[in-house]
Amino acid sequence: MTVLTELVSEQWEYRELLVRMTARDLLLRYKQTVMGFGWAIFMPLVNTAIFSVIFTRVAVIEVGQPYPVYAFCGLLAWNFFASSLRFSIASLTSNPSLVTKVYFPREIFPFSAVLVSIVDFAVASLVLVGLMLYYRIPVGWSLALVPVVVFALLLFTLALALLVAMGNLFYRDVKYLFEIVIAVWMFATSVVYPIGRVGGRLGVLLALNPMTHLIDAFRAVLLDGRAPSGAFAVTFAASAALFVAAWALFHRAEFEFAENL
């Protein structure tokens, strides 16, 4: 607990740097683009349209909700997770002068990458609200649990962001393996179809995927009007523990970062 307190205290001390770095990364991401923040909306919409054609026309599946809103809800959470890791993985190696010459908590780099993705997540959430209104999805008391689910997703994302950023610094193969893993991981998660439909040993294996429980919880509180399942509580606790462990490991290894750049 003492270590965690020190880490949080140090991060609070450098909070202005985190804000400035996040603003810088946000500007760089959309610099010289015509659509700007429109890309945060356009890509999930295109993917939703593609999967809607596949799973409502070609291989029809019943999801208990209008499929477009079901798919967009899953893609919204998944895109936040995947884009956070995609930008975090090179956050240290793309800033060698800052990492080697100036002291400040190095976790600011992956943290800022995740915060930038939160902005995209917030922008794209407006489309989800529009889809829910269009398909007349009722909302109830469970809407109050949305911050809890998003916080759990944030903890899990931050934990992996720290690990992949550190891993890519020591082993540059990580960034190449990441693209393979993230592509397979998406289809092993309840992003565009219910994983619960997969039976046998594969279904048991896929049920261990924490992202499935996080996305299912996101849909439960938004679209189904109910509390998340017990599996979400376990995933939440595991995500918190993983985040603390990843942060402590990252902090312990940061003094070796300069030697590997």
pLDDT at 90 over 80: yes
Q: Model confidence over 143-190: pLDDT tens digits?
A: 999 999 999 999 999 999 999 999 999 888 898 999 999 999 999 999
Q: How confident is the model at residue 1 (pLDDT cuts 50, 70, 90)?
A: low
What single-letter DSSP state applies at residue 90? T
Tokens standing for residue 183:
């592509």
Q: Model confidence over 22-74: pLDDT tens digits?
A: 888 888 777 766 666 677 788 888 888 898 888 888 888 888 889 999 999 99
Q: Model confidence over 186-206: pLDDT tens digits?
A: 999 999 888 877 877 888 888
Question: Quick one: which H or E segment has residue 22?
Answer: helix 15-30
More confident residue, 216 or 7: 216
Q: What pTM, to 2 d.p., does this model score?
A: 0.92
Q: Say which residues have a Cβ less than 8 Å from residue 196's Cβ, sequence separation at least 6.
A: 190, 203
Burial class (CB in 10 A: 0-12, 13-18, 19+), 183: exposed
**In this structure, what are the phi and psi dihedrals at residue 102, rounded to the nearest 5 degrees?**
-120, 135
- Radius of gyration of the chain from Cα atoms? 19
Contact, 77 vs 146, CB < 8 A?
Answer: no
Indicate the range of 70-79, 98-107, 179-188 predicted with least confidence.
98-107
